[in-house]
Structure 1
């Protein structure tokens, strides 16, 4: 079976140039400005941008246990709608996949997804933070990434033991950095917005103190420590310094932490509630700077769907998190690439290339001859409005609904098969 992507554009030294791609049996076999071929199927891209399929190392699919919020099918379809061909699903499930049997069953469930799904295993049994899992057995069952995301591991001895064992296996520890003793029940950043809205504040030191502890342990153990969703200028500074000292650390930032800050919270709007919370203007700028100087390695959505009803109860009583799979590329392209703050190449690196390299994802495609055809195609020319009624996710919880953006997904291919195509 052959497929020809016709009349597209690709990047060549920071310039968009004509590009057509020929795919045979799921593999890219030819890439050039013009391809003459009598293929079984031809898709006319009408000048749209051909990109490697995006990769998101931080999503929540909610199945099993919370399928009222999301399912593997809906979450993966939402990711395909956003141009993602590979996602990595966190382990905050019920039951969580903390044994080889449960992990293998979760991998089997994930096969129903519309795209490729990598599965995290937890660091601790039941994600309770008290006793580490059997890393070796889980690794033999296929687990390559470990995280208790959704909960920071409070006991330093547990983290130390986990890091030692993960270092032996050569697998990364991906951590939600939050010291609960320094969180004080906060639901919003501890700053002007918390004071103005009379809401309990979550201090930034709850994040940075945990990162500092974990960086010290990572330096001693040699483990690959990956920091999830950094949000403060101090966190960025800590990671930057650790990298300079040779610590094996990488980190991610979410779209919302570089697009928004606490000044955007004008009322008790739970669509702005997430953990870590939206921080101050200086923190947002530090995260942007961290991306641009290489301190922050990737952009990950932390796609966190909730029901409409759950998100109707303000900051105090609504759950943390927003959806992001379907809006990330368009928002970032519009806010940073179009104004020439970033290049399109940088955005693709942070949303695709660096993920593949850092997390060693051999099944994720590249835009090159001989690679599996994991491809995303985006319309960079026409403005559209973000409409939650067009979401394929069950979750509509986004503060970006109604925003006018560019970069709508035209097509997502996984192994050469159509995972999403714009109607």
Structure 2
């Protein structure tokens, strides 16, 4: 029995993109995966860049969701990177943090203004730290595999440059900046050194960046097209080391479902992302716990307690007085990833057919079961 898992990086797609996912199916997927609190990114249609959008999502999630839903508001209007969104109003309506996820706020002036402004509300900026000019012509990690299969690559430098900029802004403004889905060893080292200098920076790593390399892209499987891209083995090893030494603070899914027809295209034309809420725990336990790289306490810390603490959520703990959000895990349960059984609308996953060991067998939210034996309970 552990504190309910907390995933601070998901995409629920509602409003406007319900063919990919909605609040009901996304929270059912979370419950099935043992996740009791999720935070959803603002890249919907319309974008979550106003207080009415924050309130609308929170209200619908409270009525129809199966788990707790936190809302991340946009940094800029329409995610265009130009004019600041109504961050103050959104903060007052309960926005957890702010991000233009999927887009890098390339204007340093705009990003610095956002950091200075939001500090008054004690909120965090989450940065999708990938330089657009260095990444726009690529579709996977630039390296041996991309050269071999003839796909234009994205250099790790695109991530390193962006992270360096964000760290300098955090140092200048004193505002807490959280680096999303860090995937390069250069970025990891920059964050490690920034933390040693006392700069208010935290970061997360995704399940796929911890467990897959760019070799997974070799057969042009569009499930492996993600941003930042899956990188080579040396980058994966650096992320794992950083997870161990505390440089990486949290494990997330970046659950980003798409309609099947959107991914059924040539690799370079496929949108980035895939579903992850129902596979995250099993994959991490298989690859990091059962290989004796991490203890169960370390894993639960990164998937529950630490992300909750970073964003000041009332979650991630079994202490008296905390919500009764609980995940019950069978560490030795063997199972095979089968997307036909997924609750999410986005069925494509690079882990299809993977043999896993370890699975959430029950999920409780506010003291009530929302999943038992892999089956989400009816409301």
TM-score w.r.t. the length of structure 1 is 0.86
Q: Which runs of 4+ in 1 moved over 3 A?
A: none
Q: Distance in 2 between matches of 1:350 and 1:241?
A: 20
Which position in structure 2 is the counterpart of 1:204?
A: 156
Flag the structure with higher helix content: 2
How far is the alpha carbon of 1:268 from its aligned partner?
Answer: 1.4
Is it true that 1:397 corresponds to 2:340 in the alignment? no
How far is the alpha carbon of 1:317 from its aligned partner?
Answer: 1.2
Which position in structure 2 is the counterpart of 1:102?
A: 53
Say which SS state the counterpart of residue 334 (structure 1) adopts: helix
Gaps of 5+ in 1: 1-49
Which position in structure 1 is the counterpart of 2:332?
A: 381
How far is the alpha carbon of 1:264 from its aligned partner?
Answer: 2.8
Is it true that 1:93 corresponds to 2:50 in the alignment? no
Q: Distance in 2 between matches of 1:141 and 1:339?
A: 43
CA RMSD of aligned residues (A): 1.1
Q: Distance in 1 between matches of 2:163 and 2:119?
A: 18
Which position in structure 2 is the counterpart of 1:369?
A: 320
Residues 258-295 of structure 1 deviation map (CA, whole Å, 9 limit, x = unaligned): 10111233311111110000011110000000000110
Q: Which of the pair has more CA radius of gyration? A: 1
Number of matched pairs: 373
Gaps of 5+ in 2: none
Q: Select 1:221's aligned residue among 159, 165, 173.
A: 173
Residues 362-420 of structure 1 deviation map (CA, whole Å, 9 limit, x = unaligned): 2x252233322100111222311111111110011111011111122211000011111
* Contact kept in structure 2, 1:54 and 1:351, CA below 8 Å: yes
* Contact kept in structure 2, 1:365 and 1:373, CA below 8 Å: no
Which position in structure 2 is the counterpart of 1:194?
A: 146
* Contact kept in structure 2, 1:261 and 1:280, CA below 8 Å: yes
Give the alignment of 1:269-418 within 5 angstroms.
269-362=221-314, 364=315, 366-418=317-369
Give the alignment of 1:35-74 within 5 angstroms.
50-74=1-25
Residues 53-88 of structure 1 deviation map (CA, whole Å, 9 limit, x = unaligned): 000000000011110010100001001110000000
* Contact kept in structure 2, 1:365 and 1:372, CA below 8 Å: no
Return closer, same or farther for 1:265/1:144 CA change in 2, 3 Å cut-off: closer
Is it true that 1:131 corresponds to 2:83 in the alignment? yes
Q: Distance in 1 between matches of 2:92 and 2:273?
A: 32
Residues 108-163 of structure 1 deviation map (CA, whole Å, 9 limit, x = unaligned): 22222110000001000111110111322222222231011011111110001000
* Contact kept in structure 1, 2:306 and 2:316, CA below 8 Å: no
